[in-house]
Amino acid sequence: MIVPKYWSEARAQAIRNGKQITVRRFGWSNSSQPEAQQAADERAADALHRIGNGEKLPRRDIKRAYNGAHGVPIREEIVAEFGDTVITRNSYGALCLNSPNVLFGDIDFAENSLDSSTLLVIANLISIPFGVIAGYILGTLGPV
């Protein structure tokens, strides 16, 4: 899980076959803003070079939900940090828990298939054993 403290954006331009090509890329760093800018400059230059060689790439970094799954870290404001756990604010203002040690599950059922109390019991029956097993594996609940 990568949630950088510093972000920057760079733009690289070139003229190819009489047309201007503009590429924009983000860079990130946990150390400093200049390091984030350097990373952005390098990513933009690399993308421009690859496009110039005929590779089909987007001209801008594509904003996707759960960016970490696509090679680009989560680009959200860091609100608080607790070791590896980071609380961020997403684009619509909600606080988000980013933690490598928590399993979240989302189970969808057809409408009117089960009432909420039954769903709560099922969720607890499923999640508690996983939590206990994970605690022992990670060494937080006792010896392995």
Mean pLDDT for the stretch of residues 28-37: 94
First and final C-alpha spacing in the chain:
25
Mean pLDDT for the stretch of residues 133-143: 64
| pLDDT, position 90 | 84
Evaluate whether 98 touches 87 at the Cβ level (below 8 Å): yes
Q: Which of 15-19, 69-73, 122-126 has the lowest mean pLDDT?
A: 69-73
Evaluate whether 36 touches 7 at the Cβ level (below 8 Å): yes
Q: Rounded to an integer, what distance in angstroms lies between the CA atom of residue 92 and that of residue 95?
A: 9
